[in-house]
Amino acid sequence: MSNKKDLLAVGHTALDYIIQVGEFPQPNSSTAINRMRTFHGGAAANVAVVASTLGLKSSLVSAVGNEFPGSDYEKKLKDLGIDTANMILIEEEKTPTAFVMTDSSNNQISYFYWGAAAHFQDSEVPYNAIDHVEAVHLATGDPGFNRRSGEAAHEAGKMISFDPGQDLHMYSKEELKEVLKISNILFGNHYEIERIMKTTQMDMDDLRNFGPDIVVKTCGKSGSTIYADEEVMVDSVPREAVDPTGAGDSYRAGFMKAYLKGEDLETCGKFASAVASFIVEAEGCQTNVPNREMVLERMHERWD
């Protein structure tokens, strides 16, 4: 049996602490926590988990800490068939952790501890993982490591998708341009795509001529727009949103699933939107992940 994989996700694997309070405390004071739950997260891991559940053979490269080996999270990834052989273990650190606090008015304050991920910058490029996949997805993570991994993937003739996400601000103009130039697909929400164009001083045509043939801009409830040789607009799949966290990552995984299987761009967008509609229905990024049949059924309900 071939050990060739479809998709390698590079970037964060993290633990998410979702905390609800009545109100945020003032400095030098405290407040009671009404509810706290721990979820599996991290953009790269979210993409790998959703992609694997949808039927792609997935690999994951993240920097994780000393509590990760043997954890429920590692077991979950392995049970899904995700190749974790090239994970970067930092013995003296903890796995990246996000603390997201929400008050009774739905205001949020977030803290993110990079932990082991701070060592991305000193880590070796995962050449072995790159060699054994068809496509590489560069998710949130260290810009330098993403650039070096992207360059290795480009030299190896792999397809590259790029989503800097909330770590976009960490890229210098030149670093951003270097990754964009070798990318085939760029993902971002409306804010991120606008910021990328402003930073690089390019309009959409300039951006596509410079690097990615396909630019996918997601706009939440307003759907998504896919910029290629033609512009494709795709509606969202309306669902009551319990927690929007992780919807973007699941959209990317759904899009890549359809794209790598040869679907046209409109179908890719519809499939991705249907995938994301499941994620928002439950708290946590990996709590309500659908399989391919569930997604197709919801697509048909929405568009047929």
Query: Regarding beta strands 58-61 and 5-10, do their DSSP bridges make them parallel or antiparallel, or are they unpaired?
Result: parallel
Could you say which of 235, 249, 264, 304 is catalytic? 249
> In this structure, how many other beta carbons lie within 10 angstroms of the beta carbon of residue 153?
27
- Distance, CA of 203 to CA of 18 (rounded, Å): 37
Distances in whole angstroms, Cα of residue 116 to Cα of each of 10, 41, 92:
14, 15, 8
Query: Which residue has tokens 């164009």?
Result: 197
Q: Please, what is the Cα angle at 271 between 303 and 242, to 5 degrees? A: 90
The two three-digit tokens of residue 73, written as one number: 């999270």
Distance, in Å, from the CA atom of 67 to the CA atom of 149, rounded to the nearest integer, reads 25
The H or E element containing residue 215 is: strand 214-218
Instruction: Give the separation between CA 14 and CA 285, rounded to whole angstroms.
Output: 11
Active site residue 249: yes
HSE of 153 in the Cβ direction (CA atoms, 13 Å)?
30
First to last CA, the chain: 38
- Catalytic center residues: 249
